[in-house]
Structures are given as structure tokens and as C-alpha cells.
Amino acid sequence: MKRIRFKQLELRNYKVHRSLMVDYGDITKLSGKNGEGKSSIGEAPAWVFFGTDLFGGSKYNPTPTNYEFDAVHASLLISVDGTDYLLTREIVKGSNKYYLNEVPVKEGEYSGFVQSLFDKETFLSLYYPLYFFSLHKDKQRDLLLRYLLPPANSEVLAEMSRSSPEQKQKEIALNPQAARLADALKKHSIDQLASLHTDLKNKNDKLHIQTQGSVKTLTRQQQEGETGPVDQEAITSELSSLKDRIEAFDTDRQKVADRNSEIRTLHLKIEGLTQQIEAGKKDYDAAAAQMIEQECRTCGQPLTEAAREKAEQAKKDAVKYQADKVNPLIRERKALREQLAELKPLPEPGYSVSDLVERSNELRALLQTELTRTKVMQELEKAKKDEAAYLQAKNDSIFILDAIKAFKAKEAELQTKKVQDLFSTLSVRLFKYVKTSGEHVSDFMIQMDGKDYVALSAGEKIAAGLELTEVLFKQSELIVPCFIDGIESYTGKVAVYDQLITGRAVVGQELKIDTEDAE
């Protein structure tokens, strides 16, 4: 617990105060008519600490407007857990000056020292009860929850499963939503789960719609291609047999072609040899029919015996030469004729291959149709499984998102109760229910007797501020003086933890400062 007390305030040329010294007591009462500077005295500590007014306005300027001055000066002597510190802020020729214990320091060092004592929002909320309600509702909410731990996940999950307040102290089994979240929260925060499953729900919803379309398309294809059961094994076997027959037909046709080619070749060879033989025979006959001359063609004298013998021998050689040329050809032709005689033309195949090919094409088409039908059936089965899986995944994410909504609603309920338990007359709303989304979103509203703060009277606002201040005192463990301006509007009991500073408007009275100490 940190205790901060105000001991003395000195003001020079601070708004309406040319020179003023205030010695604080346990209770310091400021009274006087309007314009005497009561509020200025109350807001001077805020300016000394933060350079702001009581509502944290950074444009606040305490410079006098109705008299000449040389410098604006405000110093505050405070005690922090028994140790005194003098803080001084000045405006000299338009420039801010800072002093700690009368030693000049830079703005950063000065602000750092103040920050080490307290943060601005906490101090102003404790010092000036109306400050808290001037903040934006999000800042009000954050400030009130700053020192309050949110309900533990285990507490929220347990409360989700309780059906009545009487079960508060009983050990109960978690309901399905709470049980599922309990496991999921081991890996992710509640907000991470919400983001994760929102994304998964949207993604699986799209995939589910896509697979629904695929199932419809494949179902239509299956119905259009339905031809009844087909024996794929029998079709495959027949195709194999047809393939063998087509290959055999091609082989037979080739054999016939090869045999016919061989016969034609032999005929051509024999015909060529015959022509050569006929020509050789003519040359042979011509050589054999040649007459031997009895007289010399030149001189007409009868040939000698030796000449005749020579001529006869030349004839014999010519005949023999022609015979040697023809006889091998005759033998070769004979051999080819014998070979031709042994070669018989092969018969053409007794069936048409086009029928086999046509039947093969029919079977392949039938088999392809069956394969396509089988593939469609397999794809349809997979699409149906995928459709069911995506639907299950989407529904699972919806279940978790609904569980998260229930969790956040219960968390909001528990957190609101924790905060509400801090107050005696004020009621606090931390969340509001959004009907369109079914979610509880952050909100903040303080009411008194069913009325929003803005609708309260001046006295009621002070009462609300005091109760709020008491809560913040307990939470922050920080005790600072409390300044209530316009105390005349408040008729209730004032209870503060330490110093109290009040401002009261009194018609026709000059500024008066009274102090008293507690007994």
C-alpha cells in the first residue's frame, strides 16, 4: 500500500492567485463565492504532476488573463510513505520549467519521477471522483478491470455445466461444450479458437457446397451411363483372343505374299535364262554349221592338209566354246524349274480381318464405358464421403463456436458479478448482448438506482464518484488525497481513506481555507 499526502501548495500567478500558500490538513475546506479560485486550488496538483486540468486535458493553461505576470509557478510538497518531495512546475516566457526538490530537471526526468509514483488515470480517478466518468467508456472499463483478474477458464467451464446455483459447491461433470473447450484451451486461447474455427467453418462450408455440386454431377453421369452389369474379365479375354487372331491373319497374309513373291522371282529368273539359252543355241548352231574353205581366199590355191586341219580345229573350238556357255545355263534353268515345281501357291485366309477389328473396337468401347462407369462410381463414392466429412467438420466448428459464445457469455456473467460485488449502490454493465450475432461484446455503463451516470444529479454524481473511488483505492492499493468540488450539492456521508479536500460555494464570501486534523 502506497500512501501519498499533500503537505503544502504554493501558487504564484496561477490563474486568479497572484500569491497563495495552502497548508493541507487531514481535511482542507475551500469555500467562497464563485471566481475566488477554489477549483484552481483543487486542480493545481494535477497541473504540477501532469500539466493538465482535473479532467486530464493536456491543453490546460493556468496563465492569468486579468493581470500582468512574469512567471506562472506552482509547487507541491508531498509525502510518499513518510518521505517528502517538492515538485515544481513553472511557465517562464512561454517555456515549461521543472524542479525536483528545487533542483532543475528535464521534462523526461520529471515525468518519469511522477510516473514512478502513480499513473495519471489512476491518480486522477482517486483524487477527483468525477474524472473517471469523463473518460471514454473503454478506458473506464480498462481502468476498473486493471487490477481485477478475469475468471479462470476452469471456473468458467465449471459454471457452464451448472444448471442451478445450488450446485455451486458440488463437483460436476463438464457438459459436452465445456468438455470440448477444456481440451481445446490447452493449445489455444479462447480468442484464437474463435478465429481458428470461424476460418475453418467458412472454409469447410465452401468445400461442402463444392462437393454437394460434385455429388449431383456424378450422380447424373452415373444415371446417364448406366448400362447394366458388364463382365470385364470376359471382355478382356475375348479381346486377347481377337488380338491373337488378327496377328495370325497378318502373319498368314505375309506368308502368302512372301510365297507369291518367291514364285514370281523364280519365273523371272527362268525366263531370263531361257532367253540366254536360246541366244546361245543360235550361236552354237551357227558355229556348228560353219563350212571349211578348200581353197585360199587370197590366191585361190587349194589348202594344204595342215591348213585344213587347222581350220577344222578352229571350228571345233568355236562349237565347244558355245556349248560351254549354254550348258551351265541349261543346268541352272533345270534346277530353278525343279525348285519352282516344289513351290505351291499358298491359299488366302478364309476370313476377313475387318470383322475382327470391328469386333475388337466394339469390345474396347464397351470396356471403356465400363471403366468410365466404374471411375464415376468411385469418384461419386469419394465425393459423398468428402461431402459428409466437410459437413461434419463445419458442424464441429459450429459446435465449438457456439461453445465459445456460451463460454464468453458465462465469462461475462462471472466477470460482471466480480465487479458488481465491489459496489454497494452502483450497478455496472461490462458487456452487452448483440442479438444479430448472439454474442456478448465489451461495453461499460455505471448506473445508480437504475439511472445512467449522465442522468444523475450533481450530488448523485459525487456519491457515485466516491463509491467508485473507494473501489479503486482497494484495487490499486494507492492512497492519495481526494478533492470534492461543489460539496454543497452533496448531502451524503463522505468517507475517504486519508486526506479530504472540499470546495464549497458560499455567496458573497471571499476565499477561505480551513484545515482540521483527525483526532
Structural domain range at position 88? 2-136+458-516
- Say if 220 falls within a structural domain: no
* pLDDT tens digits along 458-469: 888 888 888 888
Residue 71 lies in a domain: yes
The answer as to whether 114 is a domain residue is yes
Q: Which of 281, 309, 283, 278 is nearest to 294 (CA)?
A: 309
Q: What is the CATH number of the domain that holds 26?
A: 3.40.50.300
Is the Cβ–Cβ distance between 412 and 433 less than 8 Å? no
Grid coordinates given for 482:
481526494
pLDDT digits (tens, 9 = 90+) for 252-285: 878 888 888 988 998 999 999 899 999 888 888 8
Which range has the worst mean pLDDT, 5-9, 466-470, 484-488?
Answer: 466-470
Above 70 in pLDDT, residue 169?
no
The answer to whether residue 65 is domain-embedded is yes
Q: Is residue 253 part of a domain?
A: no
> Measured on CA atoms in the order 238, 240, 241, 246, is the torsion positive or negative?
positive
pTM above 0.75, yes or no: no
SS3 content of the chain, % helix, strand, coil (to 5): 55, 20, 25
Helix (H) or strand (E) holding 515: strand 512-516
Cβ neighbourhood burial of 468 (10 Å; 0-12, 13-18, 19+): buried
Residue 244 banded pLDDT, cuts 50, 70, 90:
confident
What pLDDT score was predicted for residue 231?
A: 77
How many domains is the chain partitioned into structurally? Answer: 1
Going by pLDDT thresholds of 50, 70 and 90, the confidence category of residue 72 is: very high
151 part of a folded domain = no
Per-residue CA distances from 448 to 160, 396, 418, 462, 464 (Å): 30, 43, 18, 12, 7
Task: Please provide residue 134's backbone torsions phi and psi, each rounded to the nearest 5 degrees.
Answer: -85, -15
Residue type, 132: F
Is residue 171 predicted with pLDDT exceeding 70? no
Q: Is residue 17 part of a domain?
A: yes
Give domain status of residue 75, yes or no. yes
Count of all residues that appear for the chain in the document: 519
CB atoms near residue 287 (< 10 Å): 18
